[in-house]
Chains A and B, each alone.
Chain A
Amino acid sequence: MVKIGVLALQGAVREHVKSLEAPNTEVVIIKRVEQLDDLDGLVFPGGESTTMRRLVNKYGFFQPLRDFAEAGKPIFGTCAGLILMAEKIEGSDEEGHLQLMDMKVERNAFGRQRESFETTLVIDQVADDVEAVFIRAPLISEAGEAVDILAEYEGEIVAAKQNHLLACSFHPELTDDARLHQFFVKMVKEAKETRPAPETARPV
């Protein structure tokens, strides 16, 4: 049994909950820091990254989220969630938010809403025909050596994985195609099996 949370400060939360449904998987909505404790994996949903970052700070999620990743627990970020995870962001000061993945992202890289689109992508390790909805989407402009590139769209990186961290520029949660989410659920299950049990959980 694994427990996966969806960070619910703002954005499309319910859609992720639906896409994560799987056997032996409990999905919960996370609004408070204390709720992170018993999770095995976490999803950062799409939404407005500026808004989410402010709420992350406001409610003291910043360090606990970094600790969560540090503990080897899987995180999956979509769109705004990908921006939160990046080491660097193109633009004025370049400083990323949580700085979990060794990559640089460009916000609103495809333009404004009228340029938003949907397409079908080849995603390495997942499938060759995954439906993807891009909304004012970011892209990964640079990826470090530790980062595996999972998908590209017209030569630009739109999905990547770094060990237990997964991120994509598009919104798999807006489609009925749950294969990328199920790939993440598998990552969570595998991570739980290999992660050493916490000190307190050991029998005396």
Chain B
Amino acid sequence: MADRGTDRVKRGMAEMQKGGVIMDVINAEQAKIAEEAGAVAVMALERVPSDIRAAGGVARMADPTIVEEVMAAVSIPVMAKARIGHIVEARVLEALGADYIDESEVLTPADEVYHLDKSGFTVPFVCGARDLGEAMRRVGEGASMLRTKGEPGTGNIVEAVRHMRMIQSQVKRVIGMSRDELMTEAKNLGAPYELLLQIQEHKGLPVVNFAAGGIATPSDAALMMQLGADGVFVGSGIFKSNQPEKFARAIVEATTHYDDYELIGRVSKDIGEAMKGLEISTLAPGDRMQDRGW
């Protein structure tokens, strides 16, 4: 008797990724470079976030050919992105055999009101969040893994730091609360009460929480780990740097040994230039990907 797609199976998959780096790739060649460098998974995309930003227009799920090409190229898990609320894109990715789906604000939302009911899928989902309320709403819908939203494609870590600090401090607050304060906190956060109870009981989030959205250097990755991330997603940072192989390896090492500063200094040498960054305040309101979803 085998049960597929249970919470333990879906959340467990994310547990296995802890301490690792998940890298955005757009073809088989990049996927192999990522695997070779020690990535724990790859995210198969048509364009990395910084190119999505540059291209403008509507960003959709990747061409299935790319997802299949990447799945055939590597033995590590392959993730793919579906638009927020796009039931069919998500079901197509599940049918293709993607190992994890990112219901992602990097793509143009398909639904401005409802996120996907992720509990009905066999494949696990990761979702972005800026605070604990948003994080718990996604878990309530069935997400098996969380990540900060940050501000994708900017190479600017400031928003990911803001979101990680926010979630960590809210988790600590909930853990420290007495039972009679919890329902009001649930109301204020817009979070399901039962999930806040779980946070109290387990003294932490019920699922793994990675950092994402603006990680551009080995030190950025290590910073997010120190702030409490379980691992990191690196989107544009690797293949928009000028020596992706070296850069990818350095980010993996800095993530493993995030509190060994000599090592981080050593691996950060001679790895070429990081991606060009964007100042968040120069973005027009409509270009802020983190404001997509609720």
Contacts and interface: CB of A to CB of B under 8 A. Distances in A.
Interface of A: 8-13, 15, 31, 46-48, 50-51, 54-55, 58, 79-80, 107-108, 112-120, 133-136, 171, 174-175
Contacts of A115: 4
B12 interface: yes
Q: Which of A46, A118, A119 has the most chain B CB within a 10 Å cutoff?
A: A118
Given A10-B19, A13-B18, A114 B8 contact: no
A47 B18 CA distance: 8
A119 B9 contact: no
Interface residues of B, number: 37
Contact of B12 (A55, A119, A133): A133
B99 A113 contact: yes
A114 B4 contact: yes
A13 B231 CA distance: 13
A174 B124 contact: no
25 contacts: A10-B19, A10-B40, A13-B19, A15-B15, A46-B15, A47-B18, A48-B40, A48-B41, A50-B76, A51-B76, A51-B252, A54-B38, A55-B38, A58-B38, A112-B71, A112-B99, A113-B124, A114-B123, A116-B13, A118-B6, A133-B9, A133-B12, A136-B13, A136-B16, A175-B8
A54 B35 CA distance: 10
Contacts of A8: 19
B97 interface: yes
Interface in B237-263: 252-253, 256-257
Contacts of B181: none
B256 A133 contact: no
